[in-house]
Amino acid sequence: MIFRQLKELIIKEMLLLLRDRQTILLLFLMPVALILFLSLAMEGVWTDKLTGRKIQLVVENKSNSPKANLLAEKTKSSKMIQNVDRPMGMDNDQIFADGKAHAIVTIPKGFDEGDKPVEIYFDPVIDAGYKIAARSLITGLTVEVVMGIENLDAVVASLVVEKTKPNKELPTPLQQNVPAYAIFAMFFIAIPMSIGFLKEKKDGTLQRLFTYPVNTNLVVLGKIMPYYLINIFQFILMMLVGVYIMSHIISFSFHLGEHPWHMLPVTLVVAAATTGFGVLIAALAKTPEQSSTLAATGAILMGVFGGIMMPHVLMPVLMKKLAMISPMYWAHQAYLDIFLRDAVFGTILPKLIVLALFSGICFYIAGRRIKWM
């Protein structure tokens, strides 16, 4: 009997929710748009950070001597370099202003005799890391040519060994944005949820429901469950978009880690937290307009602090500490633990406990404030 009543209450709430098609579309289209456009926008930055973008270089050989020709050939064939021919009629300033190249290398007459050094001109706005890398490359190649060393890198490799561990901190654009904006959108469920509660309270629907021989807690559960289920479906859909669509649009794949099934308990707890946030907004707001403002403002602020808008790993130390006040931070970090660090369940459990506490506090405050529940 109880399950039948709960089913009817869930169906009733789902039908009411589905009538608001614009809101439902917003809940699903907003994160898809954010994932698509922000992943495309961040692709270049991530290329620089993770793999290193080639340096666009104009090589001018004014000497044409054997050593100068060898240096020009070595420079152009380097894996770090994308060779660019000087556009006709453009001076150095114009080349940089039009974004045609990052640097210009000139091998002057007298290079073989040691009378004149190789000249490097850099775009004033080039990243400092690329400036250092380009200077080191040209310096190394020049030493190879002048000193007659066949392969300076091989000589250096016998003296210096790189021991850097694989990256476990910086996510790819998809690892960052797919869970981030799925979580962000899940918190927006508070808008239709709180508006629905307040409207039913105002028109007396809730009061009439409570006059029926139905347990009060069952009525509340029947109102909450549809939003909880929509949030879970929302996250699953975003993951499918990320894995099967976005990974073919941008140049980064979407690695889910060694334990992708750990996303299930995380998603269940995150959905509880977002639902609790929606109930809290309904308790605090007095009008539908207030609930919309509170829910949107709260979600945006949690996103700013929680590493959704800006990757947490790139934040300054103060912001990293402040991020911990946002439930979105704990949710997002739990997913990144799974994707990046191949975390076992024990590693993500503390984050789930924090989210469960947030959810419980929201439901407790709401239960204390609104007597009609």
Q: What is the largest CA-CA distance in the chain?
A: 101
Does the pLDDT value for residue 128 go beyond 60?
yes
Does the pLDDT value for residue 203 go beyond 80?
no
Nearest-angstrom CA–CA distance, 177 and 163: 30
What does the pLDDT read at residue 373?
A: 45
Measuring CA to CA, which residue among 372, 278, 267, 298 is closest to residue 17? 278
Average pLDDT, the chain: 81
Q: Which of the pair, 269 or 106, is modelled with greater confidence?
A: 269
User: Torsions phi, psi of 104, nearest 5?
Assistant: -130, 125
Does the pLDDT value for residue 155 go beyond 70?
no
What does the block give as tokens for 195? 């508006």
CB environment 268-304: b (16+ within 10 A), e (fewer): ebbbbbbbbbbbbbbbbbeebeebbebbeebbeebbb
Nearest-angstrom CA–CA distance, 327 and 330: 5
Determine if the pTM surpasses 0.75.
no
Nearest-angstrom CA–CA distance, 336 and 372: 40
Residue in this structure with the two tokens 């044409």, named with its chain if needed: 64
What does the pLDDT read at residue 370?
A: 63
Specify the range with the lowest mean pLDDT, choosing from 38-47, 218-227, 275-284, 295-304.
Answer: 38-47
| Percent of the chain residues topping a pLDDT of 70 | 82
What does the pLDDT read at residue 335?
A: 94
Q: Which of the pair, 350 or 127, is modelled with greater confidence?
A: 350
Sequence-distant (6+) residues with CB within 8 A of 289 are: none
Nearest-angstrom CA–CA distance, 302 and 80: 40
Measuring CA to CA, which residue among 273, 307, 244, 280 is closest to residue 186? 273
167-199 pLDDT, tens digit per residue, is 566 788 888 889 999 999 899 888 888 887 777
Specify the range with the lowest mean pLDDT, choosing from 45-54, 87-96, 263-272, 290-299.
Answer: 45-54
**Pair 57, 102: CB distance under 8 Å:** yes
Work out the pLDDT band at 158, boundaries 50, 70, 90.
Answer: low
The pairing of strands 119-122 and 103-107 is antiparallel
Ordered by where they begin, the domains of the chain are 2-48+169-369 (no CATH), 54-157 (3.40.1710.10)
221-249 pLDDT, tens digit per residue, is 777 888 898 899 989 998 898 888 887 88
Please give the average per-residue pLDDT across 306-313, as a whole number: 84
Q: Which of the pair, 373 or 100, is modelled with greater confidence?
A: 100
What does the pLDDT read at residue 102?
A: 85
What does the pLDDT read at residue 143?
A: 81
